Amino acid sequence: MLRHLSCLLGVWGVLSILPAHAAPPPHVVRAVASFTVLADVVAHVGGTHVSVTSLVPPDGDPHEFEPAPNDARVLRQADIVFMSGEGLESWFGRLAHAAGYRGTPVIVSNGISLYTPPGNRQEEADPHVWNNVANVIVWADNIRDALIAIDPADADSFRTSAAAYVSQLEALDRDIRARISAIPASRRRILTSHDAFGYFGRAYGVTFLAPQGLSTETEASAGDMASLITQIRANGVTTYFMENATDPRMVRQVAHATGAAPGGELYAEALSPPTGPAPDYITMMRHNTDLMLAAMRPH
Amino acid sequence: MSGLFSVLWGPFADFGFMRRALVACVTLGMGAGPVGVMLQLRRMSLIGDAMSHAILPGAAIGFLLAGGLSLTAMGLGGIGAGLGVALLAGLVSRRTHLAEDASFASFYLTSLALGVLIVSARGSNIDLLHVLFGTILAIDGPALYLMGGITTLSLGLLAVIWRPLVMECVDPGFMRMSGARGGLYHMVFLFLVVINLVAGFEALGTLMSVGMMMVPAATARLWTRRLLPMMALSALVGMGAGLVGLLVSYHCHLAAGPSIILTCSVLYILSLLASPAGIRAGNSLSL
Amino acid sequence: MIQGTIGLDNAGVVLNGAPVWQHVTGHFAAGSMTAIAGANGAGKSTLLRAILGEVPLAAGTITLDGLHPRDFGYLPQARKIDRAFPISVADMVLGGAWHRMGAFGGATRALRQRAADALDRVKLGQQAGRMIDALSAGQFQRLLFARLLMTDARVMMLDEPFTALDAPTTQDLLGLVCEWHEQGRTIIAVLHDMHQIRRCFPHVVLLSGGRAVWGETARILTPATLRQAYDGMQPRWPDTDA
């Protein structure tokens, strides 16, 4: 999908070199998304009438992103900007200010009921809404509406591709639910380094245990680590997952203390590169679910 | 009494990572403490700080070549970079009229910027954070062996070159004249500084590992005027701060690395206030 | 040349772009006792440092016939030493023989005895246990002499060793220097005091106007030549030019 888009981008690029007074109104909407997961959803909803660029690259961390000057240029040239919002992209304000971007980004998480974990020192909501497929359906609706608003000529096309994608998402959601409910409730515990699966856990009935807080911004304290080890020992978790953007040493340390083994790599907040196991959102969710099921089944 | 015991020793008895972190602190204290004292006495404290930043590109290159957080690669890279900067600075100051600390400052800043560039280009910011801040709670067996090896090497080397090193510190001119090969002992000393910093950065990161070297040394200077007791005390302060810092991190749920360094600082401030050689000494301190 | 002679042939030194002295030719015979004299800025310390190799020559050569750097004992101008370093007097003296102590710095009983004797000779025996920052300027200078004793060097190079010392200390140390000479060591000393030079140093190198005049003290240090030297003019004897 993305390969077609980059081809289009190339054609469009050539077109843009033509004399300025000959530029027709854009047939392809230039969209910028804050990170890869969102970019993929926008691409599927927008279809051939949208070309998306993601600011945070594959395997990158959407919490902590250091923009390069090229990102500022991309932002300025965007027709529409999509963000998940709710505190995820804390770097966006700085980038927008530096780039002189005066538009308003579309907050795709509008309408999603957020969850604030209790006992969290910073009292902030969990921004990792996309790990519950139902929330991504809300995203798809918001994206479709935003695209229609900016490019009404292609409204029908957007509606069609959005509807097709949403039905794919609904099938994915049903599938995940079915497979997880086949696991007895007492075994549904997963140990992973990044606490980005809160929405997944609540939607599909899995308990996630993690050594660090909500984002990767806070450094670990011995007390937190001790509490986690104690909890894991009490819960009898046997498999751990390394997140693709956090310190694997911390995870290994916790696993070493609890006797757990590595279960593969979960993709919590970034897609993998196109050749990796999670090149788009739906594949990412399936991949994560497969690994988690393998960990939860008794061995 | 058993309540106090469980507060002080309980965390270490129950958790492997706490024991390993404590051993790391003890090891670091033993190695960095004496070297820090020498650094202070030679009025090279800020060079020690600069050196810890100079190490960064070496660690970054090691990180790149190893494709991840590899101890040996980053350690060797760090040592190479640190010594490289020291050599360059020495060379420049001998050839030009620039003082050694001025050329050192230029090189270490170049080095630091290079390091940040390399890590940002290939890693994510998380990797940069870990190289900068370290994770003492994630110390594992191999890391401890490396630290232990470095401390042993450091103490051993210090003992072997003891006399010429001290004489080099007091009267480098004399050493030059009596045939010590041009600055050999100076370079060996800088080597000791670099390897202790490399030992520290896995646990505390490049930013703070120098704290373990300098603050206990400054504290020890406030309590004794003799060299060997000063070194021993500096090591003890470092180890003690590690123990207390880890306990604070455990009981108060505060980040581990900063807790340790801040404990060092608290001990220093208390020494300033309590020691007869501190604030109460009044004028002219010949220390 | 006899073994142990230090020879200069048409030597010249330039510092910071300005010539210090040129066309210096002469030699310090083994076992000789020579003073280096001249007005401030004439380049006396520079001459010492050139022989030691610290200052590079802009012209000419210096030959150290058969002499190794370890054969030289050098008494620098004391201010380059870190007086605040926590080292004891005894350890400072012992440091003079550092290359004889090998790894781990253990000093044999014999060495320690030599160090104690050295301290006694300079009348610092009682101060052995004190830190060097507790010594007065005069005591510290004596300490440096004791360290030189420990080095047991063949050639002793002294740069203004008696500046700011009181008369009794100066007498004492001057006596020590003469003892060294009697033991067959070569002595080269930069001195200001003409009385000291005339009394104890049979040979002298007088630096004046960028040139050097070598010879016996009695012949060189006449009132006329001294007046010229201290006015910065070149000396005018035909047989002293290189």
Q: For residue B247, what is the nearest residue in chain A, using CA coordinates?
A: A222
Q: Specify if B16 maps to a domain.
A: yes
Is domain A184-296 classified as CATH 3.40.50.12280? no
Helix (H, G, I), strand (E, B) or coil at C20: strand
Question: Which residues of chain A neighbour B15 with C-beta distances below 8 Å?
Answer: 225-226, 229, 257
User: Sheet of C59-64: strands edge to edge?
Assistant: C18-28, C6-15, C59-64
| pLDDT recorded at residue A214 | 30
The CATH number of the structural domain formed by A2-175 is 3.40.50.1980
pLDDT tens for each residue of A125-160 = 888 999 999 999 999 999 999 999 998 998 999 999
B14 touches chain C (CB under 8 A): no
Which chains are within 8 Å of A by 3+ CB pairs?
B
pTM recorded for the entire structure: 0.71
Helix (H, G, I), strand (E, B) or coil at A236: coil
Domain limits of chain A? 2-175, 184-296
| pLDDT recorded at residue A34 | 92
Closest CB to B126 among A216, A252, A257: A216
B159 touches chain C (CB under 8 A): yes
Same CATH topology for A2-175 and A184-296? yes
Chain C interface residues (partner B, CB cutoff 8 A): 52, 54, 68-70, 72, 74, 76, 80-82, 84-88, 91-92, 94-95, 98-99, 101, 103-105, 131-133, 147, 151
pLDDT over 70 at A210, yes or no:
no
Average pLDDT score over chain A: 82
Give the angle subtended at the CA of B201 by the CAs of B116 and B227, to the nearest 5°.
130
| pLDDT recorded at residue B125 | 56
Structurally, chain B folds into a number of domains equal to: 1
Question: Which residues of chain C neighbour B96 with C-beta distances below 8 Å?
Answer: none
Question: Which residues of chain C neighbour B163 with C-beta distances below 8 Å?
Answer: 94-95, 98, 101, 105
| pLDDT recorded at residue A42 | 93
Contact call for A250 and B246, based on CB within 8 A? no
pLDDT over 60 at A262, yes or no:
yes
Question: Which residues of chain B neighbour A253 with C-beta distances below 8 Å?
Answer: 17, 137-140
**B36 and B214 in contact (C-beta within 8 Å)?**
yes
Which chains are within 8 Å of C by 3+ CB pairs?
B
Q: What is the DSSP string of C107-169?
A: PPHHHHHHHHHHHHHTT-GGGTTSBGGGS-HHHHHHHHHHHHHHHT-SEEEEESTTTT--HHH
Question: Which residues of chain B neighbour A216 with C-beta distances below 8 Å?
Answer: 126, 129
Give the angle subtended at the CA of A199 by the CAs of A198 and A201, to the nearest 5°.
65
Q: Residue B156 contacts by C-beta under 8 Å, 6 or more apart in sequence?
A: none
| pLDDT recorded at residue B27 | 95
- Between the alpha carbon of residue B55 and those of residues B50, B108, C220, the distances in Å are 9, 8, 60
pLDDT tens for each residue of A80-113 = 999 998 888 888 888 888 888 888 888 988 888 8
First to last CA, chain C: 18
As a whole number of angstroms, the distance between CA B198 and CA B150 comes to: 9
Which residue range forms the structural domain that includes residue B38? 2-275
- pLDDT values of chain B reduced to their tens digit, one per residue, 287 residues: 678 888 888 899 888 889 999 999 999 999 999 999 999 988 888 888 888 888 888 887 887 777 666 777 888 888 888 888 888 877 776 677 667 777 778 887 888 888 778 777 776 555 666 666 777 888 888 889 989 999 999 999 998 888 888 888 888 778 777 766 657 888 888 899 999 998 888 788 877 788 889 999 999 999 998 899 999 999 999 999 999 999 999 999 888 888 999 999 999 999 999 988 888 776 555 54
Environment class of A25 (CB within 10 Å of its CB; exposed 0-12, middle 13-18, buried 19+): exposed
Helix (H, G, I), strand (E, B) or coil at B47: helix
Q: Which phi and psi (to 5°) does residue A8 adopt?
A: -60, -40
| pLDDT recorded at residue B165 | 87
Helices (H), chain B: 2-8, 10-14, 16-41, 45-66, 71-95, 100-122, 125-133, 141-160, 162-170, 172-177, 184-221, 227-252, 256-274
Give me the residues of chain C with pLDDT under 70, please: 1-2, 78-79, 102-105, 232-242
Closest CB to A66 among B18, B125, B138: B125
Residue for token pair 């798809």:
A140
Q: Specify if B285 maps to a domain.
A: no
Classify domain C1-67+154-161+185-242 at the CATH topology level: Rossmann fold (3.40.50)
Contact call for C103 and B166, based on CB within 8 A? no
Question: How confident is the model over A13-24, as a mean pLDDT?
Answer: 53
Contact call for B41 and C52, based on CB within 8 A? no
Q: For residue B132, what is the nearest residue in chain A, using CA coordinates?
A: A219
B5 touches chain C (CB under 8 A): no
Question: Which residues of chain C neighbour B225 with C-beta distances below 8 Å?
Answer: 86, 131
CATH assignment of the domain containing B16:
1.10.3470.10
| pLDDT recorded at residue A213 | 36
Contact call for B178 and C151, based on CB within 8 A? yes
**A31 and A79 in contact (C-beta within 8 Å)?**
yes
Q: Specify if B281 maps to a domain.
A: no
pLDDT over 90 at A173, yes or no:
yes
Q: How many CB atoms are closer than 10 A to CB C48?
A: 23
| A abuts C (3+ Cβ pairs < 8 Å) | no
**Partner B, chain A 159-218, Cβ-Cβ below 8 Å:** 216, 218
| pLDDT recorded at residue A247 | 60
As a whole number of angstroms, the distance between CA B253 and CA C134 comes to: 49
